[in-house]
Structure 1
Amino acid sequence: MKNNSAMTKIPKGYTTITPWIISRNTARLIDFMKKTFDGEEIARLYNEDGSVGHAEIRIGDAVVMMFDAKKEWPDTPAFLRLYVEDGDAAFRRALQEGATTMTEMTDMFFG
């Protein structure tokens, strides 16, 4: 049997797993998530050089953490599956905010 003491250390409002995005422009990513998915910014901390060292945004009942990549780091892809009331509207807002379509939206058996 595993020790469940780690479960009691999860901060209120957070879940067992929290996505963490390494971004080239975290400030822009936060704005995008706020406008596209009605995200609520929780925190934004800056490094001495002005880059974002840590940020958090709540979308629905989930928190997404993020920070700016160092210039010498390779790009790091990130994928998030979001459940929203109106996928078509969210997709349109994402495009209006500068998102690039990789695939068209489709209806799938799982949602």
Structure 2
Amino acid sequence: MPAHKPADHPAVSPYLLVADARATLAFLAATFGALELFRKVREDGSIMHAEVRIEDSLLMIGERPERAAALCGSTHVYVPDVDACHARGLASGAECISPPADQPYGDRTAGLRDAEGNLWWIGTHLGG
């Protein structure tokens, strides 16, 4: 086992800096079934650092400093059912930027924009 990282962490993990980590964590749980693994809260109650697992992947989240500019990310997530995941995302307050559609490269994909402005590209591989 490599000593340079925790055993249950991949070598690369997206890290989102958001204004409202609690809302982002709720969105990830409702949309992707994200399981919260860790949360470090500052004295003022803001979330300094949180980690969630979505299937075999880890996503890190922290609340950006009050005066820091918004940073938006773009993340792709393979899911078992794009249509159901897209619907859960919409029900969680996300905006549709691309409705579910079959693609010529063998995936069914869709796109969501969360309340923080992050883009979530979701896909289910159809084979081929």
**TM class, shorter-length:** 0.7 to 0.9
Q: CA deviation at 1:49?
A: 1.5
Percent identity between matched residues is: 27
Tell me: higher relative CO, structure 1 or 2? Use CA pairs within 8 A at least 6 residues apart. Answer: 1
SS in 2 for 1:89: helix
What count of residue pairs does the alignment treat as equivalent? 105
Partner of 1:41: 36
Runs of 4+, deviation exceeding 3 Å: none
Q: Does 1:27 align with 2:19?
A: no
Confirm whether residue 78 of structure 1 aligns to residue 73 of structure 2. yes
Counterpart position of 1:97: 92
- Looking at structure 2, the residues matched to 70 and 102 of structure 1 have their Cα atoms a distance apart, in angstroms, of 28
Q: Which residue of 1 aligns with 2:118?
A: none
TM-score of the superposed pair, with normalisation by structure 1: 0.88
CA-atom RMSD in angstroms: 1.3
Runs of 5+ unmatched residues, structure 2: 108-128
What's the offset of the Cα at 1:8? 4.0
TM-score by structure 2 length? 0.77
